[in-house]
């Protein structure tokens, strides 16, 4: 990748730093499937400690972490409740049906967030005609909601309705680290009302590979079996876990820099003609904006000609995500190029 390229497609494009590469090269390893890779054991211990959960499991991806949670909480023929624009419903290739045999029933949120009343309205009495509702999934921060952060009290109210109805709760916390840094609320406080939580190391934290699933000891033991069944047992994987461990120890606080850059971009774009953007909605590292004079695909192609990469997410909507791959100078250049394109 060119050093001049400005890659705003996602925070997944982050590349390991020199210090992270060194940690990976020097990692002590064992056989994780046999349970004796010391680097993975340390990563799982630290992740569980930060999240305030008894145990954690290292997995290759956030999709696998979420799908393991669904598989552990449900049986074939069950139903899960989740927000219509959520990652599990939108970006995980139909995995709930394919891997766990469950039906997805969606709730229409506002910027990815919904209320306890909306959950209560979806509850149905036991009836042989209905799939039993076993699991409620929330996403924090919410990707397609613009990197939006759940208010803590709203999350607690939603979880309380679910638990009162005997429904388990799972948090897709792929970008929970961003929510915590932006809000000042600890990760443990965010997840204490959830039965399980997934977190990602390869987005803003900058590790090349990996996510984790956390919950009770019994839950993680069950998830470990399904991880093997799904093909996620990775032998001497302490080499990649070392990157995640380094990121967890050294890159969490720097996420605040990404948030500042996102606000810089949003503020700059808000001053341009022919764009629609609300800077006040930018809470973390994601900036969504609409272009009025061309399609999003056309805008992305014009930007790519200038070595700037963004992803169209709708016919006239683009998403830009800040990460450790960009700095203030690159954000200023991006604003200047878009100014030239839209006039």
DSSP string for 47-109: HHHHHT-SEEEEES-HHHHHHHHHHHH--TT-EEEEETT-HHHHSSTTHHHHHH--EEEEE--
Flag whether pLDDT at 1 surpasses 80.
no
Distance, in Å, from the CA atom of 304 to the CA atom of 259, rounded to the nearest integer, reads 23
CATH number, domain 18-250: 3.40.640.10
Tens digits of residue pLDDT in 85-98: 999 999 999 999 99
pLDDT score for 343? 83
Tens digits of residue pLDDT in 131-157: 999 999 999 999 999 999 999 999 999
Tens digits of residue pLDDT in 285-301: 999 999 999 999 999 99
**Cα angle vertex 206, ends 60, 263, to 5°?**
125
- What are the phi and psi torsion angles at 147 (to 5°)? 75, 30
Flag whether pLDDT at 247 surpasses 50.
yes
Tens digits of residue pLDDT in 65-74: 999 999 999 9
Dihedral angle, C-alpha 234, 240, 245, 247, nearest 10 °? -140
Local structure of residue 202 (DSSP, 8 states) = S
The domain ranges of the chain are 18-250, 254-342
Flag whether pLDDT at 37 surpasses 90.
yes
Per-residue pLDDT band at 3 (split at 50, 70, 90): low
CATH of 254-342, one of 2.60.120.10, 3.10.180.10, 3.90.480.20, 3.90.1150.10: 3.90.1150.10
- Two tokens at 308? 């700037």
Distance, in Å, from the CA atom of 313 to the CA atom of 296, rounded to the nearest integer, reads 8
Using omega within 30 degrees of 0 as the cis cutoff, is the peptide bond preceding 141 cis? yes
Flag whether pLDDT at 52 surpasses 60.
yes
Tens digits of residue pLDDT in 196-222: 999 999 999 999 999 999 999 999 999
**Cα angle vertex 160, ends 134, 200, to 5°?**
70
Tens digits of residue pLDDT in 150-205: 999 999 999 999 999 999 999 999 999 999 999 999 999 999 999 999 999 999 99
Tens digits of residue pLDDT in 97-108: 999 999 999 999
pLDDT score for 170? 98
Mean pLDDT (the chain, rounded) = 96
pTM: 0.95
Q: Are 97 and 79 in contact (CB under 8 A)?
A: no
Taking alpha carbons only, the member of 240, 248, 245 closest to residue 32 is 240
Q: How far is residue 227 from each of residues 12, 57, 99, 209, measured CA to CA in Å?
A: 22, 9, 12, 16
Flag whether pLDDT at 277 surpasses 90.
yes
């Amino acid at each position: 990748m060119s050093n001049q390229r400005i890659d705003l497609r996602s925070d997944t494009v982050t590349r390991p730093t020199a210090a992270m590469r060194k940690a990976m090269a020097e990692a002590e390893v064992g056989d994780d499937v046999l349970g004796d890779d010391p680097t993975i054991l340390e990563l799982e211990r630290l992740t569980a400690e930060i999240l305030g959960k008894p145990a954690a499991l290292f997995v290759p991806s956030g999709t696998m972490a979420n799908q393991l949670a669904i598989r552990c909480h449900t049986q074939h023929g069950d139903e899960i409740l989740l927000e219509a624009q959520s990652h599990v419903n939108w970006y995980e290739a139909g995995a709930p049906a394919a891997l766990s045999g469950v039906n997805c029933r969606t709730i229409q949120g506002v910027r990815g967030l919904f209320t306890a009343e909306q959950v209560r309205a979806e509850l149905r009495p036991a009836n042989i005609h209905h799939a039993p509702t076993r699991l409620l999934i929330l996403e924090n921060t919410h990707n397609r909601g613009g990197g939006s952060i759940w208010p803590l009290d709203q999350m607690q109210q939603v979880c309380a309705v679910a638990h009162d109805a005997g429904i388990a709760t799972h948090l897709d916390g792929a970008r929970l680290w961003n929510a915590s840094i932006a809000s000042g609320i600890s990760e443990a406080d965010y997840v204490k009302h959830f039965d399980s939580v997934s977190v990602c190391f390869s987005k803003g934290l900058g590790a090349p590979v990996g996510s984790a699933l956390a919950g009770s000891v019994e839950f993680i033991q069950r998830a470990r079996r399904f991880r093997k069944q799904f093909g996620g047992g990775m032998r001497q994987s302490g080499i990649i876990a070392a990157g995640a461990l380094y990121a967890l120890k050294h890159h969490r606080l720097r996420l605040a820099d990404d948030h500042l850059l996102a606000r810089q971009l949003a503020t700059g774009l808000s001053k341009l003609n022919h764009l629609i953007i609300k800077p006040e909605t930018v809470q973390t590292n994601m900036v969504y904006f609409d272009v009025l004079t061309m399609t999003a695909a056309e805008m992305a192609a014009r930007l790519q000609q200038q070595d700037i990469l963004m992803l169209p997410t709708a016919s006239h909507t683009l998403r830009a995500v800040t990460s450790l791959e960009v700095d203030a100078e690159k954000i200023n250049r991006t604003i200047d190029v878009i100014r030239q394109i839209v006039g």
